[in-house]
Every structure is written in structure tokens, then in C-alpha cells.
Structure 1
Amino acid sequence: MEKAILLLGKRSPFYLYILLNISKVPSTEVRTIELSFSQNRWTLLYNPEWVEKTDVNFVQALILHHLMHLINLHFLIKPKNKREKMIWDLAMDAAINQYIPELAAFGIPLNLLIEEGHGVDNERLFVLPPDWMPDESAEEYYKWIMKKMEELGRFDVTLVAQLREKSTDSHDSLQKIQNIDMVLELTQSDLAKAFNLYGEKLPSGIKRQVELAIFRPVLNWKDMIRRFAGLSEYGERHTTPLKPNRRYENQPGWKISHMAKLAIIVDTSGSIIDEELDQFFSEIESLSKYVDTNLVLVQVDRAVNLEMRYTKGAWRKMEIIGGGETDLQPAVDYLQEKYHPEGLIIFTDGFTDLPVVKRRVLFVLSSYYNEEFAEQARKVYGRSSVVILK
């Protein structure tokens, strides 16, 4: 493994820098090499017996294969069923094997695999894109496979997928990763650091993929909401003499404060126009339908102007109060002190100072947002703390 990693480093120190943040662990539980995420870091599991009997050039090529899965953020792809997984496996490999000469030498283009429905009589089979369709993403190859299968009237990819799996990996560990927002943020951060140091010397195709991964929008709106919606609805637990203790007669009982799970701040200052308010309340209404929890909402310009429990359709009768200068901090302090919410969602255009938030926070910025505010929020609270409404 050490020889293979050093050999990979000769291609580019970019790969060595990425591997510095990845644990290398021998394991007889894997057939060849497998990439997984555990204990807040990536781990490269490898079978020492397989490594020992395999040519070092091929070992380093397969390490690069897994790094390319990482660079392309393929752990974000979550197939809905077994058949869809097979198709995604083919598409993901086609997207990366074209950049690895040692694997491309054994490659079979997607069009031959799909049109003929089988591979070749070869121990090693690595999927390549159609000759006329290089340098595309896994998403584009997935679309092509689906369209081609529809044209052919053939939807069974089991045999092709099994042949592919014998030669490489199953992607199972990638597709089972939880805490996607945290994994994504760590991965993009590591890629950005490596790219800043050594990115200029990468081959053009791989360089473009790294740039896309670094600057790719972190998560979509629904994924962001799930980050908050999965949190506990319970607040603080404290004793009270007004409630009997079920176990001990002479002791006070316990009471759980049912606090707001999510708290929403809406910027109603003078810089916010009607179009932006429409954007905000459209998303808030969708949120009220999407999550089953208490929502407390406050409006704020330079002070808290209105507080209410938001329920479906409440926007129709809501009065908008504000129009002054912008200061989000009073609303943040008010909600944290009174409700102790697990998550704060702040709707604003960002033309104000970044507030200090002690809870989980998501800034939802209008399409007319302040770029400096967005960048500062990402630096302080993480890349997944900002959503831009389009």
C-alpha cells in the first residue's frame, strides 16, 4: 500500500494531500479496496492479501478510483431501489474510470454494455462512457442509460451490473453514509485545501471535477430542513412540586418543557421588498407542511415586532410589521432566551451584521442577497448554513 500511495503521489501531490486525511486500515472483510466514513473521517479499507498478490500499478489505480468517487461527491447519490442502484453504479464508474489509464485499458463503453446486455470474457471489466460522450458527470450517464434502455425496451441490467461488481466495488459503503451535511462539509473543506496547494498541476478533466465539487451547492432546501426536522422536540427537564413523583411520594415530580423545535426569524426591515417577503413566506408555508412540529415565528427589523405560533395558511392573515433598519441579533437573543429552540431559521437579504447564534442555524437568503454576508456566514457557521432562494 505504501508503494502504491507513493506511486499515486508521483501523478500529483494533490492525491497525497487528500490521503493524509484518510485512514488506511487493513481488513479481510473487503475483497479489494473500499472507501467508508466513520468516526468523523474517511477510511480506506484494503485487503492485505489482495494487495500483496496484485501489481502495484493496479493497486494505485484502484486507490485513485476510490478517490475519484470522493472528488465527485458520489456519496450524495442515494438510489431508491436495487435496480436504480445498479444503474447508478454503472454511471458513477463511467464518470471516473475514463481518467485512470490503468482501468481504461480494461474498459468497456456503456453503449456496448447496455446495447449488447453483457460484458466480455475478462476477469477485469471497467465501465467507460460512450466514445462520443466524454467528460460528463454520473448524473448525465445515468440519464443516458435510462433513455437508452427505454429505446431498446430492455430494463434488466442485472447481468451487466454483476460483471462490473466483480471487477471493482459495490459502492454500498458510500451509499449508506449518514450525516450527509457534515460529511459533505468536511470533504469539500479537504478538497479545497488540497486544490489551493496543488490543484493547478492536475489534469484538466480532473481539475474541472474538483472545482465543481468544491463550489457545488452544499445541500438543497429539503435536505436543509431535514437537518432541523430530525431534532428532538423536547426542551429542558426540571423538577416541580406541582406534579407528584410516581416513584417517591415525598419528592417533587419531573416536568418537561415542550419548547419550540424550530424558531423562524423573518427580516422585515426597509431593505426587504414585497417580492422577497413572498419568497420567504412561500418557503415558510412549505416548511409548515413538511415538518410536524411547533414553529414559533418572529418578525424583526431593528427590534422584535411580532411573535406568533405559525400554522399552515397563517400568512394569509399575517400583518407585516417593520420597515426600519436591520438588526437580527435582538430576535436571535429573544428566541434563544425564551424558547431555547433546537434550530433557528433566519430569512433575510443579509444586508446587516452577522448575528451571534448559539443554536443550530440556517440562513435562508433572498435572491437579492448580500454576498459578503453569505460568505461570512459560511465561514462562521459552516458551508451548509446558507441557502439561496432562486
Structure 2
Amino acid sequence: MDKALNEIKKESPFYTYLLLGIQFQENYSIRNLAIKFARTGDIVLLYNPSSVKKKPLWFLKALILHEIMHIINQHFRIKPKNAKEKKIWDLAMDAAINQYIPELDARSVPLNVLIEEGHGTDNDTIFVGPPAFMINATAEEYFEWIMNEFEKRKDFDVEALPDTFDDHSSLYNNPETTLEMILEITQNKIGKAFNMFGKELDSGLKQMISLSLQNSKVDWKTALRKFSGASKKGERYMTPLRPNRRYENLPGWKQEYKSKIAVIMDTSASIIDEELNQFITEIEKLSKYDVDIVLIQIDKSVTLVTKYISGKWKNLEVYGGGETNLQPAIDYAEKELNIEGLIIFTDGFVDIPHIKRRALFVLSSKYNHEFLEDAIKIYGKSSVIVLKN
């Protein structure tokens, strides 16, 4: 471990800074390496001495960087619902990471190859990577892609997929500390490392870290409480990932309980690029929470309806540029979507819409003061947030 750490220090000031203060603990119960968090929120890197001593130096360096990348990508936020979903998340997280580590990327098996072949390999020196047509995506995007592929195939055996070489359970199961503490400590450390040594990083990684470090103007955890208590059962659908209790050869039924929010983004001519960037940054931050987001773009009519997941900002096309009328988007969301509420991003240079569901207006820093006053009168003070510069 010491030799591998010394090599990393020679090659990368960025990773060296992130490794400062990390505790290293022996643990014979894990396969190779794993990350967990101490009660104080500090990072602990667990390693199996028996396994580590058998690894070549280049391999061990790559494993250490891999664990640090889990922290950079905030994979401690991910909470698999069951064992099968955990296996898919494990592959999705590793695909998001290994592409940034040359030694692992060169030896990776693309996700689409694993899915097409229907099984993995027992050789733990072969890692999972992204499909060639889906580079620089997030774990959330890879997870959604895998789930869609499984739904198409119907009879896919999730258990046939390979295990990842590191243990992720301790990464997102942290009963001794809070997510807020972990976020504060890790973001602070990553921010300092990025400010000092970020110029040396790969452009894709640099872009991902830069967005992650942008301070959200909204306390989304508190804001989302507005919609608590409004949750309903979502759609019931068939899935091959759940066995059918009555008919062994058929897929089972799954009930979706996650909160579903319609996010309406004003893309009219009065919205300038600075405001769009504010909106998209906040929508990306919101996507980190346990909500399903349907994004609706609107000028005088609905221009785009799409599901939004973390990382989608990179390829998000913005449509609009005409006059402003929020009502068509409100009507569409309330009539066509099974949602708990609406979050509306606008500059407020528009008539106040009529809304039947719970709603939150998020106004740009260049907002219309009259809209703010009218929205508070009609929907209450807690229904409006103003983004500051």
C-alpha cells in the first residue's frame, strides 16, 4: 500500500491531496478494497492485506484511485432497494468510474457486451466500462440504460452478471454518520483539491467535478418537504427483475413508490443564458435526491417533455425562444402525469398560472418583482424561492 501511495503522490497532486487524512484499515472480510465513513464523517479506506499483497503495483494504484472516484462521484448517495438492484448499481457505478482510470479502462469489458453475452467473467482483473456510444455518463444514466435493456430482453438473469472487484455496501450504508456531514466534508476537500490541481485533470472528469462543486442556491432537502405527505402509489408494471409469485416463467409486478415531480423550465425569449444555466444547475442538484423528474420545457407552448436523471444536462437541448405562457405546461403536467407536485423555473415575466397541485416557483436572479408579490399572495410565501447571483 505504501509503495502504491508513493507512486500516486509522484504522479498526481490532485489525488494526493484527496488522500491526505484518509484512514487506512485492514479488513480481511472484504475482497480487495472498500470505502466507508467514520462517525466523524471522515473517509476510511478498507483493504484486505492478503489480497493486496498479491496485486501488482499498477493494479493497486488503480484500485486506490477507483475508491477515491466513488467519493468524487458522490456514489454514497445511491441507495439500492434490493439485492438485484444493488448488482446493477454496482456495475453502473464502476462503469462511470473506470473510464477515467487508464489502467482499468484499457482492461474493461463494456456494459453492452456484458448484457449481450448475458454473463460476466470470473477474472477480477477485467473490469466493467461504458458502452462506446455512451462515454462520460453518470452511474444514474448507466443504471437507467441497463434497466431499459433488461426490460427489452424480459428473460435476462441478473444473477449471471459478474460481481464488482470492490465492495460497495459500506459506501452507501453509513449508520454512524449523516449524509449531510459526509457531503460537507467530502465537498470541501474535493473543492480545495480541484481549485489547486484541477487543471491537470482529464476534460471529462474536470467537467463533472466542476458541476458537482457548484453551490446550489436552493436547500432542496428542505424545499422537497413541501411535497411530503402527498405521495401516492405510482404505476404498477411488469418487470423481469422481480419473480412472479403465481407463474414461475412470467415476470412479476412492481409498484413504484418514489415521488414524482414535474419540473417546468421557462425557455421563452426573456430567459438569457445566465438564467438557463442557473435553472439547469439547480435541476441537476435536485436530481440527486430520491425523486423522479419529468422535465417540461415551455415558452408559449410545451416544446419538450423528457425524463431527467443526473448527468442529463450534458446532452440537454433547450427549445423555445418565443413568447411566455406557463399554463400549457401546468395543464399538461396535471392532466397527463401522475405527479405529486410541480417545480416551476421562470423569470416571472409572465402571467401567474392557475395550479391545482402543490407547487414551488423558483425565480431567477433577474426575476419580476410583481410576479413574486402576486405568487406569494395566491400560493403563499413558502411557494416561492429566488435564486441569488
TM-score range, shorter chain: 0.5 to 0.7
Aligned to 1:209, the other structure's residue is in SS state helix
Please say if residues 65 and 96 of structure 1, whose CA atoms lie closer than 8 Å, have aligned partners that are also in contact: yes
Unmatched 5+ residue regions in structure 1? 230-271, 285-314, 321-345, 349-363, 372-390
Unmatched 5+ residue regions in structure 2? 229-347, 361-376
Please say if residues 12 and 202 of structure 1, whose CA atoms lie closer than 8 Å, have aligned partners that are also in contact: no
Deviation digits for residues 60-112 of structure 1, max 9, x if unmatched? 10000111111111111111222211111111111111121222233111111
Please say if residues 31 and 167 of structure 2, whose CA atoms lie closer than 8 Å, have aligned partners that are also in contact: no
Shift, 1:122, TM fit: 2.8
Who is 1:47 aligned against?
Answer: 48
Task: Measure the CA separation in 2 of the matches of 1:6 and 1:79.
Answer: 35
Deviation digits for residues 271-311 of structure 1, max 9, x if unmatched? x99999x99x9569xxxxxxxxxxxxxxxxxxxxxxxxxxx
Please say if residues 181 and 219 of structure 1, whose CA atoms lie closer than 8 Å, have aligned partners that are also in contact: no
The residue type equivalent to 2:42 in the other structure is R
Distance 1:274 1:105, change over 3 A: closer
Aligned to 2:163, the other structure's residue is in SS state helix
Deviation digits for residues 357-383 of structure 1, max 9, x if unmatched? xxxxxxx833xx333xxxxxxxxxxxx
1:313-352 matches, within 5 Å, as 347=382
Who is 2:59 aligned against?
Answer: 58
1:1-390 matches, within 5 Å, as 1-38=1-38, 39-120=40-121, 122-160=123-161, 163-165=162-164, 168-177=165-174, 178-215=177-214, 217=216, 221-222=220-221, 282=358, 347=382, 365-366=385-386, 369-371=387-389
Distance 1:151 1:283, change over 3 A: closer
Task: Measure the CA separation in 2 of the matches of 1:196 and 1:158.
Answer: 42
The residue type equivalent to 1:64 in the other structure is L
Distance 1:218 1:70, change over 3 A: farther
Who is 1:232 aligned against?
Answer: none
Shift, 1:218, TM fit: 9.0
Task: Measure the CA separation in 1 of the matches of 2:183 and 2:153.
Answer: 37
Task: Measure the CA separation in 2 of the matches of 1:147 and 1:43.
Answer: 35
Please say if residues 217 and 388 of structure 2, whose CA atoms lie closer than 8 Å, have aligned partners that are also in contact: no
Distance 1:33 1:120, change over 3 A: closer
Please say if residues 18 and 194 of structure 1, whose CA atoms lie closer than 8 Å, have aligned partners that are also in contact: yes
The residue type equivalent to 2:22 in the other structure is I
Runs (4+) off by over 3 Å: 216-226, 272-276, 281-284
Distance 1:196 1:222, change over 3 A: closer
Aligned to 1:118, the other structure's residue is in SS state coil
Shift, 1:173, TM fit: 0.7
Shift, 1:30, TM fit: 2.5
Deviation digits for residues 234-287 of structure 1, max 9, x if unmatched? xxxxxxxxxxxxxxxxxxxxxxxxxxxxxxxxxxxxxx99999x99x9569xxx
Distance 1:274 1:203, change over 3 A: closer
The residue type equivalent to 2:34 in the other structure is E
Please say if residues 24 and 46 of structure 2, whose CA atoms lie closer than 8 Å, have aligned partners that are also in contact: yes
The residue type equivalent to 2:144 in the other structure is K
Distance 1:216 1:56, change over 3 A: farther
CA root-mean-square deviation: 3.4
Deviation digits for residues 148-174 of structure 1, max 9, x if unmatched? 1122223431121xx233xx1131011
Aligned to 1:164, the other structure's residue is in SS state coil
Task: Measure the CA separation in 2 of the matches of 1:204 and 1:169.
Answer: 26
Task: Measure the CA separation in 2 of the matches of 1:42 and 1:202.
Answer: 22
Task: Measure the CA separation in 2 of the matches of 1:225 and 1:204.
Answer: 33
Task: Measure the CA separation in 2 of the matches of 1:114 and 1:20.
Answer: 38
Shift, 1:2, TM fit: 1.6
Aligned to 2:145, the other structure's residue is in SS state helix
Shift, 1:191, TM fit: 0.7
Task: Measure the CA separation in 2 of the matches of 1:192 and 1:123.
Answer: 33
Distance 1:275 1:88, change over 3 A: farther
Aligned to 2:140, the other structure's residue is in SS state helix
Task: Measure the CA separation in 2 of the matches of 1:180 and 1:53.
Answer: 35
Deviation digits for residues 43-69 of structure 1, max 9, x if unmatched? 111122322222111111000011111
State the number of aligned residues. 250
Shift, 1:222, TM fit: 4.6
Please say if residues 111 and 129 of structure 2, whose CA atoms lie closer than 8 Å, have aligned partners that are also in contact: yes
Distance 1:370 1:119, change over 3 A: closer
Distance 1:79 1:206, change over 3 A: same
The residue type equivalent to 2:180 in the other structure is D
Please say if residues 87 and 163 of structure 2, whose CA atoms lie closer than 8 Å, have aligned partners that are also in contact: no
Aligned to 2:45, the other structure's residue is in SS state strand
Task: Measure the CA separation in 2 of the matches of 1:83 and 1:90.
Answer: 11
